[in-house]
């Protein structure tokens, strides 16, 4: 969601602002703009749609300044239009903003009564106008920033410039992430470390309520009470090749094909360097003991939620721990009663998902031990959790999550196995057998990828459909939900996932000869029941795509319209093998329909507002 870049530089900044906005395209946006302090004062350029439109605007009407801010906007308040695009300017103040100012209406009314005018429909404009009003009341720029921040309710990451201070920039964060980059004679602001990675690897992660004042040579950080504070300067490493599609037509396809490597890299962090056995990182095992746990709550959003739905089966069946999964946006507002000696596990690719972070804070207030499964160890969720279990998928650029999902599954599976061993529900021999299966995940995913051409061909069955249903049983029911999510995200086909056994309880009424059904049904203890459900659909002329192993395809006979044979594998690791097929089905269907695979409409990569 929305990207921010700010530079207090030694040379003209427009080209770097623009280049950074291109790097931030993966976050999802519908308009973009930059502002700079030029010899004429504050100036800005904005456009709707792709960064290429902004680039064309700047080619026709350049900006030349040494201090500047840039922004990619994902609309919340007000339509996607040039007028509503950031940066916003009021008087001598320019700002960019990620988040939502929840009390903007009250502030807007107050400022209008004081004679100030508004030009947009956004909540963000009130930030610029309020700061402008404080300047006009006689406050200095720094005082105006500190005073304004105390008036805002909601979430914000802000970049602020004043025409009167061409070599100074201010930043602030509450609820939305913001980092300071320390360069050589330059300073940077970014919505994440990836934004400023080409310019510096030395960053400060602003903490909740922090704000800062940057010059070319210095930085100051203040807490929510305006007291100067010291924050740790960290050296971060980013994978630069992640921002390059290489020979792939889309980031999503590149990231699908990166999964054998990203899974292997993740599992390496959970493998003892000497004995080669699976284990949790040393700091996690020191801080936490599953043998005393009464319940596990797993809380997340979107694709991460479906990863926890898969893991729910693992924790209960392998470790014998009562487990409940929850959508983060519902969890804390339900005010759940949490069992004593329970643990709450939070899964997020970015580690900045606003609803998940809020749920984590709720659990901490309740005195519940918290575990974070995140892809960014320096993220807010990672910093606030008691225990961090990292995924090592690397930066994921495509909006539709692929390699992050399977990396999350890998960590959750290892954690469930560790819990089973700790609790005595798994013997040493059983643990070793399961560990051998885990070691095969990468090669089995490679086998799945080798079927890409066949997978593309079966997409002909669904690419022209208006509705597609996904069905699965047991651990493959959450995969059906994830497969449906992937399809709707990037192809814009209405898709729904159902537990196969629920078919007769309503969904079967929707089956017609124009409603493709994707069955995820490997040969397991529930296979016969799955095939019975398949027959029910076939009897109603529904075109069926069966995804199974060789034995499953053979035993299904002629009932399915189309079959997709997947590699034989231990059922423990089948979710990895089958999720790859579902990702490729969504990808190829979207390509056939001509949609924007990497930046699907209305979606953002990291959802940092509730």
**Residue that wins the pLDDT comparison between 185 and 609:** 185
Dihedral, CA of residue 505, residue 508, residue 509 and residue 510, to nearest 10? 130
- 495: part of which helix (H) or strand (E)? strand 494-499
Q: Is the pLDDT of residue 240 over 60?
A: no
The pTM score is 0.81
The reported pLDDT for the residue numbered 397 is 83
User: Does residue 2 carry a catalytic annotation?
Assistant: yes
| Structural fold of domain 3-238 | 3.60.20
Predicted pLDDT of residue 603: 67
For 26-66, the DSSP string reads: GG--SEEEEEEEETTEEEEEEEES-HHHHHHHHHHS----S
E strand or H helix that includes residue 328:
helix 328-331
Residue 570 near residue 417 (C-beta atoms within 8 A): no
In which residue are the tokens 């007028």 written? 83
Distance, first Cα to last Cα, the chain: 12
Which CA distances in Å does 164 have to 37, 135, 189, 217?
Answer: 9, 11, 19, 18
User: Residues 317-335: what's their mean pLDDT?
Assistant: 92
- CATH classification for the domain delimited by 453-610, as one of 3.30.390.50, 3.40.50.10490, 3.50.50.60, 3.40.50.300: 3.40.50.10490
The CA distances from residue 345 to 44, 60, 348, 416, 437, in Å, are 44, 51, 10, 12, 24
Residue 288 has pLDDT above 90, yes or no: no
Architecture in CATH of 242-439:
3-Layer(aba) Sandwich (3.40)
Tally of CB atoms within 10 A around 20? 27
Alpha helices for 347-464 (secondary structure H): 354-365, 380-384, 403-423, 428-439, 441-449, 452-458
Write the pLDDT tens digit of every residue in 396-419.
Answer: 888 889 999 999 999 999 999 999
What integer is the mean pLDDT of 76-94? 86
Least confident of 41-55, 166-180, 442-456: 41-55
pLDDT at 511: 81
| Residue 229 banded pLDDT, cuts 50, 70, 90 | very high
506: pLDDT confidence band, cut at 50, 70 and 90? confident
**pLDDT of 428 higher than 90:** yes
Average the pLDDT over 293-298 and give the result.
95
Residue 72 has pLDDT above 90, yes or no: no
**Beta pairing, strands 187-190 & 179-182:** antiparallel
Cα–Cα distance for residue pair 110/567, rounded to 1 Å: 65
If one compares 252 and 51, the residue with the highest pLDDT of the two is 252
Q: In Å, how far from its chain's centre is CA 249?
A: 22
CA angle 506, 580, 582 (to 5 degrees): 25
Provide CATH 3.40.50.10490 ranges for the chain.
Answer: 242-439, 453-610
Mean pLDDT score, 232-241: 72
Question: In the prediction, which pLDDT does 243 show?
Answer: 59
Q: How many angstroms separate the CA atoms of 490 and 587, rounded?
A: 7
Are 271 and 595 spatial neighbours (Cβ–Cβ below 8 Å)? no
Query: Which of 212-221, 301-310, 558-567 has the weakest average pLDDT?
Result: 558-567
Q: 393 pLDDT exceeds 80?
A: yes
Which of 494, 496, 489 minimizes the C-alpha distance to 597? 489
CB 546 within 8 A of CB 564: yes
What integer pLDDT is reported at residue 95 of this predicted model?
95
| Mean pLDDT confidence for 306-314 | 97
212 included as an active-site residue: no
For residue 176, the model assigns a pLDDT of 84
pLDDT digits (tens, 9 = 90+) for 103-120: 999 999 999 999 999 998
Note the pLDDT of residue 383.
87
Mean pLDDT of 585-591: 96
- Residue 584, token pair as written in the block: 């490729």
Alpha helix (H) residue ranges in 450-573: 452-458, 476-491, 527-538, 550-556
Reported as a pLDDT band with limits 50, 70 and 90, residue 604 is: low
484-505 confidence digits (pLDDT tens): 999 999 999 999 999 988 877 8
Q: Residue 517: phi, psi to the nearest 5?
A: -120, 125
Mean pLDDT, all residues of the chain: 90
pLDDT band at 2 (very low <50, low <70, confident <90, very high): confident
Arithmetic mean of pLDDT, 185-197: 88
Listed in order, the ranges of the chain carrying CATH 3.60.20.10 are 3-238
Report the C-alpha gap between 282 and 287 in whole angstroms: 9
- Give the list of residues 6+ apart from residue 267 with CB closer than 8 angstroms, or none: 278, 410, 414, 438, 439, 441, 442
Q: Could you give the CA distance from residue 1 to residue 597 in angstroms, rounded to a whole number?
A: 17
Instruction: Give me the DSSP letters along 133-147.
Output: HHHHTT--HHHHHHH
Q: What is the model's pLDDT at position 539? A: 73
pLDDT of the residue at 27: 62
DSSP annotation of 177: -
pLDDT in tens, 120-151: 888 889 999 999 999 999 999 999 999 999 99
Reported in sequence order, the residue ranges of 40-149 that DSSP labels E, i.e. its strands, are 41-48, 67-73, 88-90, 93-101
Q: Of 174, 324, 369, 605, which one is the catalytic site residue?
A: 605
Q: State the average pLDDT over residues 161-172.
A: 96
- Out of 2, 301, 463, 569, the active site residue is 2
pLDDT at site 125: 92
Phi-psi region at 28: left, alpha or beta (left = phi > 0; alpha = psi -120 to 50): left
């Amino acid at each position: 969601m929305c990207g921010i870049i700010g530079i207090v530089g030694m040379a003209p900044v427009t080209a770097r602002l623009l280049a950074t906005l291109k790097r931030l395209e993966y976050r999802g946006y519908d308009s973009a703009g930059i502002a700079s302090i030029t010899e004429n004062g504050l100036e800005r350029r904005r456009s709707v749609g792709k960064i290429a439109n902004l680039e064309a605007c700047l080619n026709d009407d350049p900006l030349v300044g040494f201090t500047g801010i840039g922004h990619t906007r994902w609309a919340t308040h007000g339509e996607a239009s040039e007028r509503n695009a950031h940066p916003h300017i009021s008087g001598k103040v320019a700002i960019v903003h990620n988040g939502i100012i929840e009390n903007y209406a009250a502030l807007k009314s107050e400022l209008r009564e004081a004679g100030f005018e508004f030009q947009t429909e956004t909540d963000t404009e009130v930030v610029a106008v309020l700061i402008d009003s404080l300047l006009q009341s006689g406050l200095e720029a720094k005082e105006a920033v500190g005073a304004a921040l105390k008036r805002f309710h909601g979430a914000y990451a802000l970049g602020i410039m004043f025409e009167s201070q061409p070599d100074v920039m201010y930043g602030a964060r509450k609820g939305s992430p913001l980092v300071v980059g320390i360069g050589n004679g330059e300073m940077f602001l970014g919505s994440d470390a990836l934004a400023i990675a080409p310019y510096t690897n030395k960053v400060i992660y602003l903490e909740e309520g922090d704000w800062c004042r940057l010059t070319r040579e210095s930085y100051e950080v203040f807490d929510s009470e305006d007291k100067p504070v010291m924050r740790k300067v960290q050296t971060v490493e980013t994978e630069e090749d992640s921002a390059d599609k290489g020979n792939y037509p889309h980031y999503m396809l590149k990231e699908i094909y990166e999964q054998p490597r990203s899974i292997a890299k993740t599992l390496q962090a959970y493998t003892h360097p000497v004995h080669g056995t699976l284990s949790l990182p040393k700091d996690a095992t020191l801080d936490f003991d599953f043998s005393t746990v009464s319940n596990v709550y797993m809380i997340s959003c979107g694709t991460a939620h479906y990863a926890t739905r898969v893991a729910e089966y693992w924790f209960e069946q392998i470790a014998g721990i009562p487990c409940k999964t929850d959508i983060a946006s519902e969890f804390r507002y339900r005010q759940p009663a949490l069992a004593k000696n329970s643990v709450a596990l939070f899964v997020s690719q970015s580690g900045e998902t606003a609803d998940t972070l809020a749920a984590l804070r709720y659990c901490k207030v309740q005195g519940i031990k918290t575990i974070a499964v995140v892809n960014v160890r320096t993220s807010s969720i990672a910093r606030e959790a008691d225990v961090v279990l990292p995924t090592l998928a690397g930066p994921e650029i495509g909006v539709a999550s692929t390699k992050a999902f399977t990396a999350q599954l890998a960590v959750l599976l290892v954690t469930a196995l560790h819990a089973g061993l700790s609790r005595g529900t798994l013997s040493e021999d059983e643990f070793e057998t399961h560990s051998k299966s885990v070691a095969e995940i990468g090669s089995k995913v490679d086998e799945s990828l080798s079927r890409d051409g066949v997978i593309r061909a079966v997409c002909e069955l669904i690419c022209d459909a208006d509705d597609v249903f996904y069905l699965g049983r047991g651990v493959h029911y959450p995969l059906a939900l994830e497969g449906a999510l992937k399809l709707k995200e990037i192809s814009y086909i209405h898709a729904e996932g159902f537990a196969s056994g629920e078919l007769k309880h309503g969904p079967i009424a929707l089956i017609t000869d124009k409603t493709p059904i994707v069955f995820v049904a490997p040969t397991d203890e529930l296979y016969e029941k799955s095939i019975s459900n398949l027959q029910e659909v076939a009897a109603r002329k529904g075109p069926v795509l069966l995804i199974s192993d060789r034995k499953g395809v053979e035993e299904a006979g002629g009932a399915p319209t189309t079959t997709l044979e997947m590699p034989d594998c231990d059922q423990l690791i089948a979710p990895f093998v089958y999720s790859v097929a579902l990702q490729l089905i969504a990808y190829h269907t979207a390509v056939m329909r001509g949609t924007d695979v990497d930046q699907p409409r209305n979606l953002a990569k990291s959802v940092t507002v509730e």
